[in-house]
């Protein structure tokens, strides 16, 4: 589920942000090339926008474990305790006021086995253009690479971008997958979700 989205699509593919391992046991840091994840996702969404009746009515999930996301009920960090536990923090200027209010994300949490996500709704063209209405100073904006799932209201396709693999899974009609695979700007290859996928050694 977290790698390819739901079952039932006619075809599936992998959008590779890093080429597949060239040999068994290869580490991702030793890959020959790295594709721009944000650029690849935007181009895929541009194509997929033409293959749904509801491009302005889409849903997005952001994994709650993303480093830039702080849950509303998360404990507020105490600078004194952090400094005691992590001495290296003493040399760094404090960017977050003590007892500051964590940023609050709108919307519910959605859970699947081993993962929970914040759920967002909006136009596909606005994917990745999100920011906190009220956040900590210097809080980075959430961008398109944080999207763990994206799908339109008509369920024409689904993109699953889990945190662990070096690729994102795509489910759609066969003709849509064929178009993505044939696009020279994209590194998309057909995939069988039931088969073992290439992995790098961590």
pLDDT tens by residue, 159-174: 999 988 999 999 999 9
Kindly give the residue spans of alpha helices, DSSP state H, lying in the chain: 37-48, 79-85, 174-182
In a domain, 139, yes or no: no
In a domain, 202, yes or no: no
In a domain, 8, yes or no: yes
- Characterize the bridge pairing of strands 147-152 and 11-16: unpaired
In a domain, 101, yes or no: no
In a domain, 11, yes or no: yes
pLDDT tens digit string along 119-173? 888 999 988 776 655 555 555 566 788 899 999 999 999 999 998 899 999 999 9
Residue 98: is its pLDDT beyond 70? no
In a domain, 138, yes or no: no
Positive or negative, the Cα torsion across 38, 145, 104, 74? negative
Q: What is the mean pLDDT of the chain?
A: 81
Tell me which residue range forms the domain holding 125: 1-19+36-71+107-131+145-193
Question: What is the pLDDT confidence band of residue 90, given thresholds at 50, 70 and 90?
Answer: very low
In a domain, 91, yes or no: no
For residues 183-202, average pLDDT: 94
Q: How far apart, in whole angstroms, are the C-alpha atoms of residue 63 and residue 163?
A: 8
In a domain, 51, yes or no: yes
DSSP 105: -
Q: How many distinct structural domains can be found in the chain?
A: 1
Burial group, residue 168, by CB count within 10 angstroms (0-12, 13-18, 19+): buried
For residues 27-51, average pLDDT: 92
Residues 96, 75 contacting (CB under 8 angstroms): no
In order of 51, 61, 78, 98, the CA distances from 123 in angstroms are 14, 13, 38, 37
């Amino acid at each position: 589920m977290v790698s390819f989205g739901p079952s039932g699509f006619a075809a599936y593919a992998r959008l590779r942000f890093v080429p597949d391992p060239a040999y068994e046991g290869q580490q991702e840091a030793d890959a020959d090339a790295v594709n721009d994840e944000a650029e690849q996702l935007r181009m895929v969404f541009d194509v997929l926008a033409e293959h749904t009746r509801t491009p302005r009515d889409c849903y997005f999930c952001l994994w709650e474990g993303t480093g830039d996301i702080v849950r509303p009920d998360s404990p507020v960090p105490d600078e004194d305790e952090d400094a005691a536990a992590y001495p290296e923090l003493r040399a760094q200027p404090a960017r977050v006021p003590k007892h500051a209010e964590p940023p609050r994300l709108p919307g519910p949490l959605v859970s699947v086995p081993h993962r929970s996500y914040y759920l967002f709704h909006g136009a596909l063209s606005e994917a990745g253009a999100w920011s906190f209405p009220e956040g900590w100073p210097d809080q980075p904006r959430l961008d398109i690479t944080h999207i763990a799932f994206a799908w339109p209201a008509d369920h024409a396709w689904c993109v699953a971008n889990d945190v662990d693999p070096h690729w994102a899974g795509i489910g759609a009609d066969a003709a849509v997958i064929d178009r993505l695979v044939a696009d020279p700007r994209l590194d998309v290859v057909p995939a069988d979700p039931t088969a073992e996928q290439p992995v790098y050694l961590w």
